[in-house]
Chain A
Amino acid sequence: MTLNNLLSGNNIRFLPVAIAFVALIMIGNPSIWVTLTVAGLAMGMMIFLMASGLSLIFGLMDVMNFSHSAFVAFGAFIAASVLGRLSGWNESDSVLLNMLALFSALGAAMVFGMIAGWFFEKVIIKPVYQDHLRQILITVGALIVSEQLILVIWGGVPINVARPQFLQSSFIIGDISIEIYRVFAVFLGTAAFIVLHLTLNRTRIGLLVRAGVENREMVEALGFKVERLFIGVFVVGSGLAALGGAMWAGYETLITPEIGAHMMISIFVVVIIGGLGSIEGSLLGALILGLVGNYMAFLFPKMALATNMLVMIVILMWRPYGLRPMVKS
């Protein structure tokens, strides 16, 4: 039985497990492997938050939004500002106050992302539907303008992001150390995936989105206004990107206005290797990127920078339409 047969159909979802298993053999030390795996999962979940919206926007709206990472950057800076303002709660010994500070920061980032996404769709994206060249030009331009706006508002000096007190320590199990922040990132990413998965698979709006990703014209011929769906998907996608940016800010703890541009390549790689318009594909792609990135940095440090491209090349050679492509009519 070939590897292709083993990982065909639904078995593809076990690919991250297979990668982790191979890494365990290569690393040899279980405690280091656990630390790297949790870090990889956390990184993967945060990239998933940022990429899932873009995947739907790509798939449903056929819009090449190169400024998606601007929402990531704004999310990061807004979360950093809120956490800075709420430093009293953030540094308190009370877990409740810590959580209030954290969720205020995440909530503010997400709400800003959604409002900005709505405005962005109306003003920037709507005039360039069905024109990829103009989409690329205008969204790359918008990304540059966004970075400059961040410079104007927050300045060019890197900003420290204070993690809430309760997320600063680590779990120690034997000689294994796991940062609580990473575990929280995994939980948040999982929760977001479950909500998205249930919405897409158990609700009528989700059914319409899945159908719209495949064949927009036919959804309209069945009596639905796809344009309204577009706005909804764009708003949610932008909100998720900002949420991912806010989480990433806490993960990095030092952010610059280029944070969005730095994340853009990872986000696009995840969307492409996952399969356009596929939430499951985005999750798989993000987990693979997170895990492989961490394992490679440990095993082959000199190769770490090339990880994203290597993963993309290997997966696209194996599956040219991505890991879980949507069926396009």
Chain B
Amino acid sequence: MRQDILTLDNVCADIAQYHILHDINLNIPKGGVHVLLGRNGAGKTTTLRTIMGVLHAHSGSIKFDGQDITKYHSSDIAQMGVAYVPENMGIFGGLTVEENLRLAANKGKFDPVRLKRIYTLFPAIEKFWDKAAWSLSGGQKQMLAIARAIIEPRKLILIDEPTKGLAPSIIDNMIEAFHEFAKETTILLVEQNFHFASSLGETVNVVEDGKIIHSGDMKEFAQDKDLQTRLLSLSLDQHQ
């Protein structure tokens, strides 16, 4: 039994006057890719933002690597080794590709070995190194956002819908890249593309109305069409 790197215990969080998360319980084991599934508006993004400290839980507790981070500021959570790739990618369009990565590198200095690995995984990063990030395509921006998350060793990476709007060929490359860096870290992935999610995920948690309504093994979930249809209320074939 692997130790959990992240535990959410009865977490409730609001956005303005709206209650979004209601007693979320989540256990993410150390290492590998773990998927958070759910329909639009179920609370997936809010869960990631609450873990990252962008939003604060008003009750419950969040433990990361054994430490209670419920009230921590997002910068402190990042310093503890958590990286966040938001749904909008969070790219700084006015900065170059290099500057975007340099911000995330420890003291602004690159580790040559990691940088070389990023070039191999995402050749566009090297090609457009000096270009302003706003000039990149959607897929290249996503690669930059992920490269920024792995430019330093991280204990946990929170990634929100990395395949949104990407061409199928880029998604296949992305699966390969995720397999590669999931060897050294833990990834909590929010994803709507079931093919992508099931190709990578070890475990799955399904969110509905701000609650976890199913937790289990991804392989079993991928084989159980009835369960998928019941929990996600849609025909998953269209996503495969």
Q: Using a CB–CB distance below 8 Å, which chain A residues touch chain B?
A: 204, 207-208, 210-211, 213-215, 217-226, 326-329
B92 near A214 (CB under 8 angstroms)? yes
Q: Which of B87-105 contact A (CB under 8 A)?
A: 88, 90-95, 99, 102-104
Contacts of B52 in A (CB 8 A): 221
Q: Given A210-B94, A222-B104, do A329 and B88 touch, yes or no (CB 8 Å)?
A: yes
Cα distance, A204 to B95, chains bound together (Å): 12
- 8 residue pairs of the A-B complex, CB under 8 angstroms, read A211-B99, A215-B90, A220-B75, A221-B84, A222-B78, A222-B104, A223-B79, A327-B93
Contacts of A218 in B (CB 8 A): 86, 90, 92
Nearest B residue to A213 via CB reads: B94
Contacts of B75 in A (CB 8 A): 220-226
B134 at the interface (CB under 8 A from A): yes
Nearest A residue to B81 via CB reads: A223
B90 near A208 (CB under 8 angstroms)? no
Cα distance, A273 to B127, chains bound together (Å): 34
Nearest A residue to B102 via CB reads: A207
Cα distance, A215 to B148, chains bound together (Å): 15
A214 near B73 (CB under 8 angstroms)? no
Cα distance, A221 to B160, chains bound together (Å): 14
Contacts of A208 in B (CB 8 A): 103
B93 near A329 (CB under 8 angstroms)? yes
Contacts of B95 in A (CB 8 A): 207, 210-211, 214
Q: State how many angstroms separate the Cβ of B177 from the closest Cβ of chain A.
A: 20
Contacts of A213 in B (CB 8 A): 94
Q: Given A204-B108, A208-B103, A211-B103, do A221 and B54 touch, yes or no (CB 8 Å)?
A: yes
Tell which of B78, B94, B102, B132 touches A221, judged by Cβ atoms closer than 8 Å: B78
Give the residue among A219, A221, A326, A327 with the most B Cβ atoms within 10 A: A221
Contacts of B99 in A (CB 8 A): 207, 210-211
Q: State how many angstroms separate the Cβ of B190 from the closest Cβ of chain A.
A: 15
B90 near A329 (CB under 8 angstroms)? yes
Contacts of A226 in B (CB 8 A): 75
Contacts of B7 in A (CB 8 A): none
Q: Using a CB–CB distance below 8 Å, which chain B residues touch chain A?
A: 52, 54, 73-75, 78-79, 84, 86, 88, 90-95, 99, 102-104, 108, 132, 134, 148
Tell which of B73, B93, B102 touches A220, judged by Cβ atoms closer than 8 Å: B73
Cα distance, A198 to B90, chains bound together (Å): 25
Contacts of B73 in A (CB 8 A): 220, 225
Q: Given A207-B95, A217-B54, do A222 and B88 touch, yes or no (CB 8 Å)?
A: no
Cα distance, A65 to B8, chains bound together (Å): 41
Cα distance, A88 to B74, chains bound together (Å): 56
A214 near B93 (CB under 8 angstroms)? yes
Q: State how many angstroms separate the Cβ of B109 from the closest Cβ of chain A.
A: 10
Cα distance, A326 to B74, chains bound together (Å): 24
A215 near B54 (CB under 8 angstroms)? no
Q: Shortest 8 CB-CB distances between A and B: which pairs?
A: A327-B93, A223-B78, A218-B90, A327-B94, A221-B84, A211-B92, A220-B74, A223-B79
A221 near B92 (CB under 8 angstroms)? no
A329 near B103 (CB under 8 angstroms)? no
Tell which of B54, B91, B148 touches A329, judged by Cβ atoms closer than 8 Å: B91
Contacts of B108 in A (CB 8 A): 204, 207
Q: State how many angstroms separate the Cβ of A214 from the closest Cβ of chain B.
A: 5
Cα distance, A226 to B102, chains bound together (Å): 17
B103 near A214 (CB under 8 angstroms)? no
Q: Given A219-B103, A221-B52, do A214 and B78 touch, yes or no (CB 8 Å)?
A: no
Cα distance, A223 to B86, chains bound together (Å): 15
Contacts of A329 in B (CB 8 A): 88, 90-93
Cα distance, A218 to B148, chains bound together (Å): 11
Nearest B residue to A203 via CB reads: B108
Cα distance, A219 to B74, chains bound together (Å): 10
Contacts A220-B74, A223-B78, A225-B73 supplied; 8 other A-B pairs, CB < 8 Å: A210-B92, A214-B92, A214-B95, A218-B86, A220-B73, A220-B78, A221-B52, A329-B90
B84 near A214 (CB under 8 angstroms)? no
Cα distance, A217 to B79, chains bound together (Å): 15
A214 near B94 (CB under 8 angstroms)? yes
Nearest B residue to A214 via CB reads: B92
Nearest B residue to A223 via CB reads: B78
Contacts of B90 in A (CB 8 A): 215, 217-218, 221, 329
Contacts of B102 in A (CB 8 A): 207
Cα distance, A329 to B74, chains bound together (Å): 18
Q: State how many angstroms separate the Cβ of A61 from the closest Cβ of chain B.
A: 16
Contacts of A220 in B (CB 8 A): 54, 73-75, 78
Q: State how many angstroms separate the Cβ of B134 from the closest Cβ of chain A.
A: 5
Q: State how many angstroms separate the Cβ of B142 from the closest Cβ of chain A.
A: 14
Nearest A residue to B104 via CB reads: A222
Cα distance, A222 to B75, chains bound together (Å): 6
Contacts of B79 in A (CB 8 A): 223
A327 near B78 (CB under 8 angstroms)? no
Q: State how many angstroms separate the Cβ of A328 from the closest Cβ of chain B.
A: 8
